[in-house]
Amino acid sequence: MTLDILFGNEALKSTLRGFAGKRAFPNAFMISGPEGSGKSTAALLFAMAISCKGEDRPCGKCESCRKISEGISPDVINIGLIKDRKTIGVESVREITDSAYILPNDLDVKIYIIKDAEKLTAQAQNALLKIFEEGPMSVYFILLTSAPSQLLPTVRSRAPEIKTEVFTDKKLTELLRGNVKKAAELYAKDEAAFRKIVSASGGSYGKALAILEGKNKKTPQLIKKAENIVSLLGEKDGAHLMIALLDESSDRENYSSVLSLVQNALRDLAMIKKGGDGDMIFYSDRLLAAELSERFSISTIVRLTTVLDNLYYEVTQTNINVRTAALVASGRLSDVM
Ligand SMILES: [Zn+2]
């Protein structure tokens, strides 16, 4: 396993090469990006680079690299949500405090990879900060998160953020067709179905793979949901729309997927209204889309898109309560409809 395993992500790779070249990695840093964007793979590559014995780090060949990539090094320790828990509590951080001062087993360093770091309680984050400050120099922390804004500012300032890349639909299509047999087959057989998968994956390679392999069972439901929301928008049915919007509010991840699908659908409708003949990204049936587009004026689509873009930003980039954000947006939507 070497850097080639991560598609795209040039900025992240160049940061890694920069650290590796100077043989100086920060003791704590954060890898952020949406679900399925390669955060875990990136974390393993950083861990390999930190402890690599080769020249071109991570070499992928030395014993450290090998053990880490196979997940069998006792000195790379994964911390994350415990089953049935919603947060990562201070007891998980105590586990780190207890083991961080014990010498590594077979590497020269100890590396803690903390997944879903946004789920750390404030108390846990404060405990973690203390180890960042007082822990041994040979101990490293890699925080993985899809919602960096939900971490305490003190943690964010101590753990520089390195972002994984989200692909454009075009680039993602290219990558999937070029690298995944199943994707190439689906594209040849049913291009519309393929485009829906790309559209539902929000630019994430991993998410697209999960949908392709049927591991993401919710996707067809989310697509259905997005279709419903668009027709409600067309019917100017504010009350139903409000319910439809709130319905997904229990889960930030699903909610943002639905929003992204609705945005893509509106983009298709706007293109048709303007008489464009480019590729559709959401609708597979051009006639159906043309029929739907009759219900909107261009200016309504523009105003709807502004409200939805804003809501998408709030849901994905801030820690605003999803329900509150949806309610406020529903109000704004009834104003523009
Ligand atoms: Zn190596």
Residue 238: CATH number of its domain: 1.20.272.10
d(CA 208, CA 176): 8
Give the count of domains, the chain.
Answer: 2
Q: State the Cα–Cα distance between residues 65 and 71, nearest whole angstrom.
A: 10
Structure tokens at 183: 């994707």
User: How many A from CA of 55 to the centre of ligand 1?
Assistant: 8
- Could you give the count of Cα atoms lying within 13 Å of 181 in the half-sphere of its Cβ? 0
Asked if residue 256 and residue 148 are part of one domain, the reply reads no
Could you tell me which residues are beta bridge partners of residue 142?
29, 113
Q: CA-CA distance, 3 to 41, in Å (whole number)?
A: 9
Could you tell me the residue range of the domain that residue 248 belongs to? 218-336
Write the DSSP assignment of 254-311 as a string of letters. Answer: HHHHHHHHHHHHHHHHHHHHTT--S--SS-S-HHHHHHHHTT--HHHHHHHHHHHHHH
Dist. CA 77 → ligand 1 center (Å):
18
148 and 20 in a common domain: yes
Query: Is residue 47 located within the same domain as residue 117?
Result: yes
Residue at 262 is within a domain? yes
Domain membership of residue 76 (yes or no) is: yes
139 alpha carbon to ligand 1 midpoint, in Å?
Answer: 18
Q: Ligand 1 center to residue 65 CA distance, Å?
A: 4
In Å, what is the CA distance from 320 to each residue of 57, 190, 276, 326, 327? Answer: 40, 39, 37, 10, 12
What is the pLDDT at residue 176?
Answer: 92
**Mutual angle of helices 219-235 and 238-247, in 10-degree steps:** 160
- Residue 113 resides in a domain: yes
Within a domain: 193: no
Q: How many Å lie between the centroid of ligand 1 and the Cα of residue 268?
A: 47
pLDDT tens for the chain, residues 1 to 337: 777 778 778 889 999 999 999 889 999 999 998 777 889 999 999 999 999 999 899 999 999 999 999 999 999 999 998 888 889 999 999 989 889 999 999 899 999 999 999 999 999 999 999 999 988 999 999 999 988 988 999 999 999 999 998 787 888 899 899 988 999 999 999 888 888 888 778 778 888 888 888 777 777 788 888 888 888 888 877 667 766 676 654 577 778 888 888 888 998 899 999 888 877 778 878 888 899 999 999 998 998 899 888 888 888 777 788 888 888 888 888 777 7
Distance from the alpha carbon of residue 98 to the mean position of ligand 1, in angstroms: 28
At residue 247, the pLDDT reads 67
Distance 226 CA to ligand 1 centre (A): 46
Cα 320 versus chain centre, distance: 18
215 contact partners, CB below 8 Å, separation of at least 6: none
Distance from Cα 111 to the centre of ligand 1, integer Å: 15
Q: Do 256 and 133 belong together in one domain?
A: no
40 C-alpha to ligand 1 centroid (Å)? 18
Q: In what order do the strands lie in the sheet with 161-163?
A: 76-79, 110-114, 139-145, 28-32, 161-163
CA of 52 to the centre of ligand 1 (A): 4
* Residue 281 falls inside a structural domain: yes
Q: Which of 127, 146, 163 is the last residue of a domain?
A: 163
Alpha-carbon distances, residue 129 vs 34, 55, 145 (angstroms): 24, 32, 16
Q: Are residues 156 and 224 in the same domain?
A: no
Give 142's DSSP letter.
E
Let me know whether 33 and 139 are in one domain: yes
8-state DSSP, 118: G
Q: Is 237 helix (H, G, I), strand (E, B) or coil?
A: coil
Ligand 1 mean position, distance from CA 12 (Å): 18
Radius of gyration of the chain (CA): 22
Residue 211 domain flag: no
- Distance between Cα 320 and ligand 1 center (Å): 42
Pairing of strands 139-145, 76-79: unpaired
Is residue 128 located within the same domain as residue 40? yes
Whether 209 is in a domain gets the answer: no
Cis peptide before 220 (omega within 30 of 0): no
Residue 156, number of CB atoms within 10 A of its CB: 18
What is the CA(217)–ligand 1 centre distance, in A? Answer: 38
Report CA(103)–ligand 1 centroid distance (Å).
20
With helix as H, strand as E and coil as C, how does 163-225 read?
ECCCCCHHHHHHHHHHHCHHHHHHHHHCHHHHHHHHHHCCCCHHHHHHHHCCCCCCHHHHHHH
Distance 45 CA to ligand 1 centre (A): 10
46 Cα to the center of ligand 1, angstroms? 11
113 C-alpha to center of ligand 1: Å? Answer: 18
β-strands 139-145, 28-32 pairing: parallel
The contacts of residue 138 (CB under 8 Å, 6+ apart) are 104, 108, 109, 110
CA-CA-CA-CA torsion sign (71, 72, 77, 83) = positive
User: How many A from CA of 109 to the centre of ligand 1?
Assistant: 14
Q: Which pLDDT tens digit goes with each residue over 182-223? A: 999 999 998 888 888 887 787 788 888 888 887 777 777 888
Residue 66 CA to ligand 1 centre (angstroms) = 7
Q: How far apart are CA 146 and CA 149, in angstroms?
A: 9
Q: What is the 8-class DSSP label of residue 117?
A: G
What CATH code is carried by the domain that includes residue 157? Answer: 3.40.50.300
